[in-house]
Amino acid sequence: MFLDTFLNSFKEKYDVSKLPYYERIIQKRDTATDVSIINYGITTPGIVSFLFYSGSKMFLILFFFILTLTMLFFEKIILNKTTNLIFCALIMQQISYRLVHFGYMPLNSYMFFGTIFLTVLVHQILYYLFKNIDL
């Protein structure tokens, strides 16, 4: 099935003795020659390469289109709720950075996006609490 590589990438767990999924499966690098206890680094594919794990251009285009619309919608919600351009830009820059470096343990992204959600929620709560206070 064309989605096997894509779906198997979600099963990746952190293991310092193994190369990341992208390097092992896609780049076909060898663990014995490429992993050092002293020097450990990873290569991240980014969201476009990650979505192309399936090998299907249609899958890539469809999900990238959906992701783009979702991010535009999310930006509009943040801007409407906070009315703070700098805060909105900072949040969207963090999301963009995560998507550019997406692909290394993709299931761990729930922590990042959960933190973004909580940050926006706390901002809204503090805004409503201190809205009527004269300083």
CA gap 103, 91 in Å, rounded: 20
Q: What is the dihedral of CA 2, 55, 104, 11, to 10 degrees?
A: 0
> What's the rounded mean pLDDT across residues 38-57?
76
In eight-state DSSP terms, residue 24 is I
CB 64 within 8 A of CB 47: yes
pLDDT reported for residue 82: 84
Question: Which residue range(s) make up the domain with 85?
Answer: 4-130
Does the residue 75 lie in any domain? Answer: yes
Please give the tally of structural domains in the chain: 1
- Residue 123 belongs to a domain: yes
Per-residue pLDDT of 87-98, as tens digits, reads 899 999 999 998
Residue 135 lies in a domain: no
Residue 22 pLDDT exceeds 60: yes
Q: Read off the pLDDT of each residue in 105-115 and give the average, rounded to a whole number.
A: 84
Tens of pLDDT, residues 119-128? 989 988 988 8
CA 45, CA 50: separation in Å to the nearest integer? 6
Asked whether residue 60 is domain-assigned, the answer is yes
